[in-house]
Amino acid sequence: MDLEHLSEKLTEASVSGFRDRTKRRFSLPVAARSHSDSRRSSIISSCSDTSSYTGSSSDEEEGSPREKEQVTASGFTDFCVKNLRQAEFGRREIDIAEQEMPGIVALRERAGKDLPLKGAKIVGCTHINAQTAVLLETLAALGAHVRWAACNIFSTQNEVAAALAEKGFSVFAWRGETEEDFWWCIDKTVNTENWQPNLILDDGGDATHLMIKKYPAMFKMVKGVCEESVTGVHRLYQLSKAGKLNVPAMNVNDSVTKTMFDNFYACRESIIDSLKRSTDVMFSGKQVLVAGYGEVGKGCCQALKGLGCIVYVTEIDPICALQACMDGVRTVKLGEVIRHVDIVITATGNKNVVTREHMDKMKNGCIVCNMGHSNTEIDVNSLRTPELTWEKVRSQVDHIIWPDGKRIILLAEGRLVNLSLSSVPSINVSITSCTQALALIELFNAPLNRYKSDVYLLPKKMDEYVASLHLPMFDAHLSELSDDQAKYLGLSKAGPFKPNYYRY
């Protein structure tokens, strides 16, 4: 028998044997098959639900946390979280995050004895996850009393919120809040008996906005605002220009440590993580459009190019556009490529960057998501019309189906995708948290009239200090200037080492 016939015979025998084994393995008695068919039918029925994920998870069927009476083991009740029973699991997550946050832990240890925030009453409105929990506990260790809410309805880690509540923190947040819940939670951090906040730590400007609109007298008594997002900083500058900012504010977003390490390096990793977790997409060969080539856009583009994507960028700024060109990224108008791209990512901080007109033109299966803080970049409301069908795929992943059968994949309903569907590296949050903590310490302890009712940047020396706190994690060793070298450069040997106008 020649090799060709032998090969055919072996293949036929192998297939036949596989069929027999499969038949034996999966043959069920009639009763079992009936039960299996019934179970499969119920699964198919549940999967065909076309409602959006928002507000329809199994946890949410238990009812709103606002309707529950919750008490910790110590009798503490001033909080509102999803499930207090998850506290132990949340504590483990916080412990893991703390291991990757050497800077904020070092700041806690160095400044803890001095209690530089003793007497501070801080209203916080940020993402509530394991990393920000480390910041909350650090602020408390430095003497502050804090009340906290979430700045995003999808980014809260319920188990972490439970762990914070169990430890006695006034936290009002859960994953999947409604818009009404969102503002109720922020209001609870501000309006309570025997409480006059004197500092605000904001991420997006929502706590600041609520206090100005609803509690203007309380806002005037605040010593300062610390803001970490593009959207929030933009709001602060608008308030300052209009003469409505009655207190000093620190722009943390544009500090070097925040802009470079959180916006660029963290987004470079988290964009891939969030897209992979939510869609299982393979990037190689995909055409991707990134709207905006700031630090967030640069980080996204670098990661996507590294995985073999064909990347396009939209920009309004000629300097950023030229940077994109020099980096080998083609700069286009959205309408030029919208029919062909596989993934659209917004990272501008603007509104209506991707409109219904754009989405009408997208190809079947196009993935649409947002990496900018604001949830206004994608015009999601224009998709809530009778002719379009929303179909839940998985947590915070929706199919939007057109009458002709075309569908796009919308992630996190247009909200911040990396913190809604994945997470960010803990060390990057540590860098930002250090900057925020130092800004709060400065605002709280500053002599009267040092700061006017305006928006300020942190001193360069403070940025360098934050960076130095994180170098030991990498076993990095700084060189030192000699007296002669310092004199030649006109610098202090202890820094700052760059002028304020230096661009890193």
Q: With contact defined as beta carbons under 8 Å apart, do 363 and 369 qualify?
A: no
Q: Is 299 a known ligand-binding residue? A: yes
Q: Is 414 a known ligand-binding residue? A: no
Q: Is 296 a known ligand-binding residue? A: yes
Q: Is 103 a known ligand-binding residue? A: no
Q: How far apart are CA 234 and CA 325, in angstroms?
A: 27
Nearest by Cα to 53 from 394, 438, 500: 394
Q: How far apart are CA 169 and CA 128, in angstroms?
A: 12
Task: Please give the single-letter amino acid code of residue 20.
Answer: D
Q: How far apart are CA 439 and CA 154, in angstroms?
A: 27
Six-digit token string for 58: 């199994």
Q: Is 372 a known ligand-binding residue? A: no
Q: What three-state secondary structure class fits 417?
A: helix
Q: HSE-up of 199 (CA within 13 Å, CB side)?
A: 28
Name the pairing type of β-strands 121-126 and 407-411. Answer: unpaired
Q: How far apart are CA 409 and CA 93, in angstroms?
A: 30
Q: What three-state secondary structure class fits 14?
A: helix
Q: Is 294 a known ligand-binding residue? A: yes
* Contacts with 348 (C-beta within 8 Å, 6 or more apart), sequence order: 291, 292, 294, 297, 372, 377
Q: Is 109 a known ligand-binding residue? A: no
- Cα-Cα-Cα-Cα dihedral sign, residues 416, 422, 428, 431: positive
Q: How far apart are CA 158 and CA 161, in angstroms?
A: 5
Q: Is 424 a known ligand-binding residue? A: no
Q: With contact defined as beta carbons under 8 Å apart, do 391 and 248 qualify?
A: no
Nearest by Cα to 352 from 331, 370, 326: 370
Residues tagged in the binding site annotation for NAD(+): 294-299, 315, 418
Residues tagged in the binding site annotation: 294-299, 315, 418
